[in-house]
Structure 1
């Protein structure tokens, strides 16, 4: 029985293993390192191909094979596997409205559409060039709007899920700018989110985000997941309404 090694990001291996265990064609699943998972293959790989939680795969001793198609990207575009992790944390259901207020080139929007085809997806960004790339990446099949994250063009209490990769202040934005941006974005997320809504926000400017959440009494951080890739160590925070 051939063995396949899958490469993910540090912090996502448990999510990958959970999904692999639900696939009847895979056996002897085990984590090799923080970034790799091995499994034995006995049957069709169709379900495995549909899983977005790994970036490349190899039948040992063959070389790694990358699996994501070509997308237009900017230096700060969200890592493709990380986008898939964020969608899992968001627990999106068919028919729900999902908003990315920092959508950039559309990586998270595509991950949501792959994971939950029946979700309604909207991307917002203030960068014309990034939105043009997002339109091409999504083949203009997802609603895209140019606006500021601090003034979202959606109605109060209308969004079921917010999923976003916030500016860290490294490749894009600044820590000083985030002092105003994060509270403004949190106020808007609080305004647009439904009573049972959920937001998943990724950042390396962690203390600043938690301070903004603490000041926004309509939201509470209930879960966090540290991810490590390409020298970055951001945390994904899951926010819900306080009980």
Structure 2
């Protein structure tokens, strides 16, 4: 029997996640929506938790029409639980590689599109209470800021304007939580975004891959997962970041302290560059980047090989003009929205005319 899976992701990465689902043979894509990819699968056992660009993965439990805008209509969401087949759902979750049981409690997370006269906690508490009664398990509300215990099963309710959907998380923890993240620093990149950037970089065996402002090393560790037969180097001006990447990468790459605009590597030596520079948000620009990004782009252009590729996360398209002046040619631009802010993933190659 087939299972309907739902992968949730950062807005803007829907097509990337869909491509990854197809590439690993997880199933057939049946729907792409806002931050959601739906697929049908018959043999999910070995593939669901291999997804790197998705934030999380769920088994679809039930679908009903969206309830509308008013708070009085929230009670209708209990219909999502009415026909729940607990044994079949446990088996579907087990087949996807998750635990067969629902744990010792219930945690619900809700989201909706459009303006509503209710909040997420109204939705969560309504569905949570119905699930508690149906399954005989305690519901743990988030309304007062309390975090549900780790032993709870995770349920998600999504209202998209047309439909209301109830889903059950497959794994105990969301997919975006990586085991390697032992240490973090301000501005650490969201792992699924890093994985999407790595996929755009098209890493090859034997490539020398650089992140000149590596932070806690998320991009490089995701890159090593995708292509273990490449060579990796990471630098950061902050000594705390260098310590973090050494912990997260288990000393499997070359690291050091350096200004991102003055990296101690030979000209034209780097095949692939992946980086999320400090644009002055959570992490202030330091060193030669204090007064602008021009020195960074010039250094990236100096380092990259003639046939190399750079994939960079930029805050706005104005950076493209600076990159072009430095000698880069943009070949891909993708807008994403993460943590309430718009950013762009840009892939660039060196302008060969400049080499003549």
TM-score (norm 1): 0.91
Equivalent position SS for 1:85: helix
Q: Say whether residues 1:192 and 2:303 are aligned partners.
A: yes
Q: Say whether residues 1:6 and 2:7 are aligned partners.
A: yes
Q: Say whether residues 1:66 and 2:174 are aligned partners.
A: yes
Q: Which residue among 202, 218, 232 is the counterpart of 2:313?
A: 202
How far the C-alpha of 1:127 sits from its partner, in A, is 0.7
Mapping for residues 40-189 of structure 1, pairs under 5 Å: 40-61=40-61, 63=155, 64=169, 65-67=173-175, 68-70=177-179, 71=181, 72-173=183-284, 178=289, 180-189=291-300
The CA deviation string for residues 194-222 of structure 1, in whole angstroms up to 9 with x for no partner, is 11111111121541x22321321x32222
Q: Which has the higher contact order (CA 8 A, sep 6+)?
A: 1
TM-score (norm 2): 0.63
Q: Which moved more, 1:73-82 or 1:56-65?
A: 56-65
Q: Which runs of 5+ in 1 are unaligned?
A: none
Cα distance in 1 for partners of 2:52, 2:245 equals: 19
Whether contact under 8 Å (2:234, 2:254) holds in the other structure is yes
How far the C-alpha of 1:21 sits from its partner, in A, is 1.9
Whether contact under 8 Å (1:108, 1:164) holds in the other structure is yes
Q: 1:201 to 1:153 in 2, by over 3 A?
A: same
Cα distance in 2 for partners of 1:91, 1:54 equals: 18
The aligned counterpart of 1:222 is: 331
Aligned residues: 239
Cα distance in 2 for partners of 1:89, 1:23 equals: 16
Q: Which runs of 5+ in 2 are unaligned?
A: 62-153, 156-168
Equivalent position SS for 1:52: coil
Cα distance in 2 for partners of 1:126, 1:3 equals: 46
Larger Rg: 2
How far the C-alpha of 1:173 sits from its partner, in A, is 1.5
Cα distance in 1 for partners of 2:187, 2:29 equals: 36
How far the C-alpha of 1:145 sits from its partner, in A, is 1.3
How far the C-alpha of 1:178 sits from its partner, in A, is 5.0
RMSD: 2.0
The CA deviation string for residues 38-83 of structure 1, in whole angstroms up to 9 with x for no partner, is 1122114323322311011111336234123341222310111110
Cα distance in 2 for partners of 1:221, 1:165 equals: 16
How far the C-alpha of 1:162 sits from its partner, in A, is 0.6
Cα distance in 2 for partners of 1:74, 1:230 equals: 16
The aligned counterpart of 2:87 is: none
How far the C-alpha of 1:170 sits from its partner, in A, is 1.3
Q: 1:28 to 1:234 in 2, by over 3 A?
A: closer
How far the C-alpha of 1:190 sits from its partner, in A, is 1.0
Q: 1:240 to 1:66 in 2, by over 3 A?
A: same
The CA deviation string for residues 132-181 of structure 1, in whole angstroms up to 9 with x for no partner, is 11111111112111100111111111100111011121111259x85734
Whether contact under 8 Å (1:23, 1:48) holds in the other structure is no
